[in-house]
Structure 1
Amino acid sequence: MRDFITVNQQPDAGKGSSQLQGLRGRPRFGLATRTLLSVIAFVMAAEIIIYVPLVVNFRDNWLRNRLSAAYTATLVLEAAPRAMVSEQLSRQLLDSVGARIIVLQAHGTRQILAAASLPPAVDEFYDLRQATFLQQLASTWRTYFADDHRVLTVFGAAPMGGEAIEVTMDEGPAKAALHVVAARVLTISMIVSAIVAALAVTILNLLVLRPMRRLTTNITEFGADPENANRIIVPSGQTHEIGRAEEALATMQDTLVRELTQKKHLAALGLAVAKINHDLRNMLASAQLLSDRLANVTDPLAQRLAPKLVATLDRAIRFCQATLTYGRATDEAPKPRLIDLRAAVDEAAESVCPSGLGRIAIINDVSSGFSLWADPEHLFRVMVNLMRNGVEALDRAGPARGRTAQIRVSAQFGGDDAILEITDTGPGVPPSVRAQLFTPFSSSSRPGGSGLGLAIAADLVRAHGGSIELLPEADDETAGATFRITLPQRRPAAAA
């Protein structure tokens, strides 16, 4: 939140906004494109896992088919007498198998059953009976990238108790068939990948990307103008994670707008207070000069009230000066000293409700000789704010049923702390106000109230290292409001 305030107050805020618009206008590699490519890549990876064994199995099955045909040809050649198999029939059998030579291994010997043109050399020997997957994969790889004149000898099971049957063939037909199947499988894989990726991206776009795009767009637009309440996101009402994120974002943005508005209000108020206090200080100085002449008046009432009037004017002038100083930096640090609390309470009560001039009684229950460490001016301001709140509540709503209009001040020590309690017999504090009782501009429930009195009192008490709280209401309806102030005290050794 502070970062937003700093940016809004800088003279280069327009430059930051233009930079933000420039970043927004740049072409981006969006989530939809990334998701589409990722899905295609994953599907292709899965297809490759299927594609490689499929191509390997196709080649092995193609070779087994050739061995099966050679197996049949071997049965024919073995069953017929040698003189009965013509060269033409033998060549036809070899052509049906697609082989150059068919050799039968039996009883430790190798017998050529049929032969056409003999190759100058055999490039590879491949045994289908004992081949592992890695051997099948390597042999398929060699076939796929072989030249058209490569010759292969394949070993398979032999009929009629033979040990093996050898078929020597050109590898060109196997390579051609392998290329056709590989291209077909690759085409099918690409089509399946595209269909799956399109469906997946469509679903992801509807369920994830579009809500996320709406979320990020709102964050960007709200960040450009965080004081505009119209840019607060309207939650979609969905129950999934993004829906809950929208609700959290809406809450955060609403809080931020209110905080920024309050800070802006405080800044404007601070400037106005500084101007008012500057002129008010001059007016009070003139009033102080006039009040000095009351000392020469012989009237007993004037003689009694003149010193208090002069003291009040002096305190008001010092407060105006302190307010101007606060507007430039921070409030003056407390200067604690040992003070007589009972006399301080009487002074604050006389300032809030002069004796004989009001119908509300302020009862001082502080025992005689009760002394504590505090800044006299700060403690005076705290008690005046709390007493004045009580007086105004009693004036506005009257005392609780069955009670008289009064404010009672009491004090005691609790360990190393001094505990001061100020209780009124008014109607109490509404529950809706209690949560932000000490927040500026948010706790006043009376017409014309500024909501600053309790906030000022809390700041002054915290400056002493103490605490202030509103005690919970009692069960009965005559409790009123009780504020408890706790101030840490110096130890006896330090006090001396």
Structure 2
Amino acid sequence: MLNSLSGRFLVLTTVFVMLAEVLIFVPSVARFREDYLLLRLERAQIASLALLADDMIDADLERELLDNAGVFNVVLRRDEVRQLVLSSPIPEPINATYDMRDASAWLLIRDALARLADPTDRIIRVMGNPVQDGGLLIEVTMETGPLRTAMLDYGLRILVLSAVISIFTAALLFLAVRAILVKPIKTLVQSMQRYAAAPEDARHIVTPGAGIRELREAEEALASMQTDLTSALKQKERLAQLGGAVSKISHDLRNILTSAQLFTDRIEGSDDPLVKRMAPKLVGSITRAVSLCENTLAFGRVDEPPPQLNRLQLADLVADVIDSERLAAGDHDISFSEDIPLGLTVRADAEQLFRVVANLVRNARQAIVATGKPGEICISATEDDAAWSITLTDTGPGLPPRAREHLFKPFQGGARKGGSGLGLAISADLIRGHGGRLELKRTDETGTQFIIRLPKSDATLSAEAAE
């Protein structure tokens, strides 16, 4: 029970209420002692009136008056004259004197605690102001035993009452906490457990309905998280199904392309000048297609090979990409330009880097064609001591907001209607495999610019890949 929220509330409430009662107990006992002593003074003054009314009273009556007042003797000061009005033998010397006329609260509390701590029955003198202007001063001598007994009895009654109030208050708070907090929290936990058992079932997503603002905010945050998680699980399931289908298609496509590759080998032996010029590009395209199918099959088995890093002439690779895209552009007014320093070599996997650059140029070409306006695509490259940078700039319409928000996410970052966003996601993944980064430098109505950064050192490669 103590491990539960309501149980701990019960214990804490009891402790806090008892602490509050203790803080009340001390001044209450001090006040009780003050009232007790003042009552003894008042009774002693009333007893002295009998003697003032009749100077001749016998010893038995005097003793009875003192017993009723609870004192040993009474001294009354009237008109600057101190007069012993009633008296009886005092069993022992006076131990202490207490003046009740100007006693402060702190002094009363201190004297009350001291009296409770001292069990010895002592004789004390108490002074105070007479009631009804019955004189200038009245003082009595009395025992402390009855006073301490009365104080203990009063204190015990306060503690018992405090305990009853504490238990009753704690029980009410216990029930209130269970109804207001514990029950909604348990309901929320049960909803989470049901969702965890079948996260793909949208019926188990929690429906916010708590009346407490903090709990409702927690429910809303949980509902949002569960909705996103369910969508992600569905997307992963679709990706898995799509991956299986793509693997099968790639397997059959690879066989078809392998047969086509055999035919192109024979075409290369033709004496036709046009065939001789076009055959190498055809062979290269088919070879890359076969390699892509094989890599797709490997990716489906989650064992895609790492990039084979070799030195290559970047200008040759870019020229192949531009030649292919220029043919694809057809009659559309799109100009291609390149600014690659002569002799610039980069260390990369030729096939993977070709796929990345071709993918970015293809996206730019399709974006410009969709506008129906002329456009330009430029590929430039620079290097410094740490990395090579390949920049692709176009004058297209720029990426739409959804594509920018979900950039490099498959099936979410498509830049055009019907696009899947797979191209950018695959490109970013391939560049990460090189230890580099694919970055979106800018995109607006004047065009888009991507930068490919490839590290030069192995240490940079390892650090970038780890990130």
TM-score range, shorter chain: 0.7 to 0.9
Q: Encode CA deviations 1:112-134: one digit per residue, 9 max, x unaligned.
A: 94448x86x79x94533387533
Instruction: Indicate if the aligned counterparts of 1:102 and 1:168 stay in contact, CA closer than 8 A.
Output: no
Correspondent of 2:69 among 74, 94, 97: 97
Gaps of 5+ in 1: 1-26, 144-149, 492-496
**Aligned partners of 1:304, 1:30: CA distance in 2, in Å?**
82
Deviation at 1:227, TM superposition (A): 3.9
Q: 1:188 to 1:367 in 2, by over 3 A?
A: closer
Is residue 2:399 matched to residue 1:421?
no
Is the 8 Å Cα contact of residues 104 and 111 (structure 1) preserved in structure 2?
Answer: yes
Q: Pairwise mapping of residues 87-126 of structure 1 onto structure 2 (< 5 A)?
A: 87-99=59-71, 101-102=72-73, 113-115=86-88, 125=95
2:361–2:377 Cα contact (<8 Å) kept? no
Q: 1:225 to 1:438 in 2, by over 3 A?
A: same
Please give the secondary structure, in 2, of the residue aligned with 1:365. strand
Structure 2 residues without counterparts, runs of 5 or longer: 101-106, 458-467
Of 92, 109, 112, 1:136 maps to 112
Paired residue for 1:67, among 17, 38, 41?
Answer: 41
Q: Distance in 1 between matches of 2:199 and 2:405?
A: 25
Structure-1 residue corresponding to 2:123: 153
In structure 2, the residue matched to 1:46 is 20
Pairing 1:224-263 to 2, within 5 Å after superposition = 224-236=197-209, 240-263=213-236
1:471 and 2:446 correspond: no
- Cα displacement (A) at 1:93: 0.9
SS for the counterpart of 1:472 is strand
User: Per-residue displacement from partner, 1:427-476 (whole Å, max 9, x unpaired)?
Assistant: 543222221132111122556543211111222334352433163223xx
Of 295, 315, 330, the residue aligned with 1:322 is 295
Question: Are 1:372 and 1:489, in contact at CA under 8 Å, matched by a contact in 2?
Answer: no
Residues 320-469 of structure 1 mapped to structure 2, 5 A cutoff: 320-326=293-299, 327-329=301-303, 332-333=306-307, 335-341=309-315, 343-352=316-325, 354=327, 358-360=330-332, 363-367=335-339, 370=342, 371-375=344-348, 376-393=350-367, 397=370, 399-400=372-373, 403=374, 408-413=377-382, 417-423=388-394, 425=396, 428-444=398-414, 449-462=419-432, 463=434, 465-469=436-440
Larger mean CA deviation between 254-263 and 191-200 belongs to 191-200
Q: Distance in 1 between matches of 2:145 and 2:309?
A: 107
Letter in 2 for 1:429: L
For 2:364 and 2:265, how far apart are their aligned partners in 1? 32
Contact 1:71 1:165 in 2 (8 A): no
Structure 1 range deviating more: 192-201 or 248-257: 192-201
CA distance in 2, matches of 1:78, 1:366: 129
Paired position in structure 2 for 1:306: 279
Identity %: 33
Deviation by residue 1:28-47 (Cα, 9 ceiling, x = unmatched)? 74222322331232122111
Give the superposition deviation at 1:339.
0.9
SS of match in other structure, 1:439: coil
Q: Equivalent residue of 2:268, what SS? A: helix
Which of the residues 24, 30, 37 maps onto 2:4? 30
Q: How does 1:195-210 map to 2 (within 5 A)?
A: 196-197=169-170, 200=173, 209=182
Match of 2:60, SS? Answer: helix
Q: Given that residues 44 and 74 in structure 2 are in contact (C-alpha distance below 8 angstroms), is that contact kept between their aligned partners in structure 1?
A: no
| 8 Å contact from structure 1 (residues 360, 391) kept in 2 | no
Matched to 1:483, the amino acid is Q
Mapped contact 1:338–1:373 kept (Cα < 8 A): yes
Alpha-carbon spacing, 1:249–1:256, altered in 2? closer, same or farther (3 Å): same
Secondary structure of the structure 2 residue equivalent to 1:189: helix
Question: TM-score, normalised on structure 1?
Answer: 0.71
Shift of 1:139: 1.5
CA contact (8 A) 1:237 1:243 kept: yes
Q: Give 1:487's aligned residue.
A: 453
Q: CA deviation at 1:381?
A: 0.5
Give the 5 Å matches for 1:143-292: 151-157=121-127, 164-168=139-143, 171=146, 175=149, 177-178=150-151, 181-194=154-167, 196-197=169-170, 200=173, 209=182, 212-236=185-209, 240-292=213-265
Secondary structure (helix, strand or coil) at the match of 1:128 reads strand
> Does structure 1 conserve the Cα–Cα contact (< 8 Å) formed by 2:441 and 2:451?
no
CA contact (8 A) 1:31 1:209 kept: yes
Tell me the amino acid that sits aligned with residue 14 of structure 2.
I
Change (3 A) 1:446 1:413: closer
Please say which of residues 376-385 and 271-280 is displaced more in the overlay: 271-280
In the alignment, is the contact (CA less than 8 A) between 1:334 and 1:378 conserved in 2? Answer: no
Provide the rounded CA distance (Å) in 2 between the counterparts of 1:207 and 1:79: 70
Separation in 2, partners of 1:345, 1:170:
109
For residues 164 and 287 of structure 2, the distance between their equivalents in structure 1, rounded to whole angstroms, comes to 91
Partner SS, residue 471 of structure 1: strand
Q: Is the 8 A contact 1:349 1:362 kept in 2?
A: no
- Counterpart residue identity of residue 95, structure 1: D
Q: Is the 8 A contact 1:70 1:167 kept in 2?
A: no
Please give the secondary structure, in 2, of the residue aligned with 1:127. Answer: strand
Q: Deviations over 1:2-45 (max 9, x none)?
A: xxxxxxxxxxxxxxxxxxxxxxxxx7742223223312321221
C-alpha distance in 2 between matches for 1:430 and 1:208: 46
Which residue in the other structure is 1:494 paired with?
A: none
Superposed CA RMSD: 4.2
Alpha-carbon offset, residue 85 of structure 1: 2.0
How far apart in 2 are the matches of 1:368 and 1:114?
124
State the Cα deviation string for residues 78-131 of structure 1 (Å, max 9, x = none).
7754xx2213312321332235x3375999x99794448x86x79x94533387
User: Could you tell me which residue of structure 2 aligns to residue 146 of structure 1?
Assistant: none
